[in-house]
A and B are shown apart, each in its own frame.
Chain A
Amino acid sequence: MDGAITSPVSLVQRRARSPLRASTVSTATQGSRPIAKRRHNALLAIVLGLVALGFYVVFVVAGVLSGHAP
């Protein structure tokens, strides 16, 4: 970080030194992978989260529909 860099380090790699930038780096430097991949990550995560929530709701609603709720 002090300018004494002896080999080419890209801007993205410099940003990589901050751990909070890791998610940015992880998508931006994936070789031929487009930066839009980050949006794919979020989309897939949301879909999987909704699937998990769906399983939860299905089981509780099935319990309620069985007629044992108040």
Chain B
Amino acid sequence: MAHADTHALHAADHHDDHKPHGIGRWLFATNHKDIGTMYMVFALIMFFIGGAMAMVIRLELFKPGMQFVDPGFYNSLVTSHALVMIFGAVMPAFVGLANWMIPLQIGAPDMALPRMNNYSFWILPFAFTLLLSSFFTAGGGPAGGWTLYPPLSLQAGDSFPLTIFAIHMMGASSIMGAINVIVTIMNMRAPGMTLLKLPLFCWTWLITAYLLIAVMPVLAGAVTMLLTDHYFGTSFFNPAGGGDPVMFQHIFWFFGHPEVYILILPAFGIVSEIIPTFSRKPLFGYDAMVYATASIAFLSFIVWAHHMFTVGMPLAGQMFFMMSTMLIAVPTGVKVFNWTTTMWKGSLSFEPPMLFALAFLFLFTIGGFSGLMLAIAPADYQYQDTYFVVAHFHYVLVPGAVFAIMAGVYYWLPKWTGHMYSMTLAKWHFWVSTISVNVLFFPQHFLGLAGMPRRIPDYNVQFTDWNMVSSIGGFVFGLSQLLFVAVIIQSARGGPKATAKVWDAEPLGLEWTVPSPAPYHSFSDAPEVH
């Protein structure tokens, strides 16, 4: 939204490209680009660890009966897959993109609090070492599901305290990252860049950061109470001592539903950057997009009990949570309408970032529609805890959040490395991923509607065919991600030089005014924004 007065554009940038060397550059990093790179690499590693768990899950579900793992280990895989993908892959990937791009997009030389930025990254490897090492404790890894519902989660073995401490550390990291994003955007914008000139990616991240600060402490409070119930004789969630396990579910989902939007709002921002670029048109309805994002964030706080319809609640409660959940479709519909209208009569081209953004648009919407089905309280009694729910949230998170991350990487990768990548390889990655992700998750709708429960290692023989199809899709999708790694490595090692603008379009953001690769220190002098 901002035009930069780029006279004497970064004349001194070539002097600002001196980097520290060796391991110290990464251990003591305070440069937003270095920390962004570390976040992205960490997220990619976690994506493959969580993906390997998913492959074992799909292998076990390929046919009925127990084949490869015992049920306890299967439960640990399901639980850890979720925790690793949510807190280790998707969230750090978005924080990595925020670190790289927010200072470049607002014309700031760095994040506002660089040392805290370092701490918030380096907490993560320790948190996930703690979580994954719990697989080697007596009783195996955490097996009660990522929702950690008591009393099941309290029956875990020695993995329990490790999981709780790991979640605390992830939360601390997220809160520090969120504080950094808010302070950077509020205090470090280039002169002239008013809030309604912020790029959409910054806007969606600003709102996400407020969500994080509001709800991560709630999760921390819930798991602290679980810990004291387990070790210190309290009865917060233990009916034998006067507690209430349903209370945990309310607290958890008061965190859990905004968390869903924490995982998707930055994706909206990325798509809002890419579609105008490859449509050669400004974003349609910029102000409406901002207000829609804020509305979604507000509504995310008043819908939590739609995860709990079958727990039992008064009819008025069911009506309230059903209606408020459906209300979210309105601002989300505004967004889908605006992205579509941005493309209307645009001069479209279909480079890999645009392909992934378009796939996001269609496939996230499928996830949104199945979400509306789940929001209908009487219908939810049929869908609850079936594979329909698994299909729904995987459509939202994989071709939704993960595809948006891939779109963002393909969009900004030449700006990071200074090299273009192989369009052919990236398009292969897109088509194989898009086809296989649908083969993987679409049949799960049928399985769920036919009554197959989620979180089970064995199933009735009638569910065999679609499980086989789903597993084949899963293996292809998993293997196709190696193409993504190949493209990134190829671009990092060399290739055709990227220009400052990178794309043959008219991008509007400040990040396209700095050379490619972006100099180690950029915007030492603040640009003028009109």
Contact = CB atoms under 8 A, between A and B. Distances in A.
B183 A69 contact: no
Contact of B234 (A8, A53, A70): A70
B30 A20 contact: yes
Contact of B221 (A10, A30, A59): A59
A48 B183 contact: yes
Interface size range of chain A in the complex: 35 or more
Contact of A17 (B16, B188, B218): B16
A13 B522 CA distance: 10
A30 B108 contact: yes
Interface string A46-67: 0011011111101110010011
A23 B217 contact: no
A41 B214 CA distance: 19
Interface size range of chain B in the complex: 35 or more
A49 B110 CA distance: 20
A23 B234 contact: no
Contacts of B221: 55-56, 58-60, 63
A9 B15 contact: yes
Given A7-B11, A25-B521, A52-B217, A19 B183 contact: no
Contacts of B220: 56
B217 A29 contact: no
Contact of B112 (A13, A16, A26): A26
Contact of A5 (B15, B29, B34, B175): B15
A22 B110 contact: yes
A14 B479 CA distance: 46
B218 A59 contact: yes
A7 B109 contact: no
Given A10-B524, A26-B111, A52-B179, 18 more contacts: A13-B521, A17-B18, A19-B20, A26-B108, A26-B109, A26-B110, A31-B191, A33-B191, A44-B183, A44-B186, A44-B187, A48-B179, A55-B217, A59-B222, A63-B221, A63-B236, A68-B238, A69-B234
30 contacts: A1-B18, A5-B15, A7-B15, A9-B15, A13-B16, A19-B29, A22-B31, A22-B32, A22-B521, A23-B30, A23-B113, A25-B110, A26-B109, A26-B114, A30-B190, A30-B191, A31-B525, A33-B191, A37-B188, A40-B187, A44-B186, A48-B178, A51-B213, A55-B215, A55-B217, A60-B221, A66-B236, A68-B236, A69-B228, A69-B234
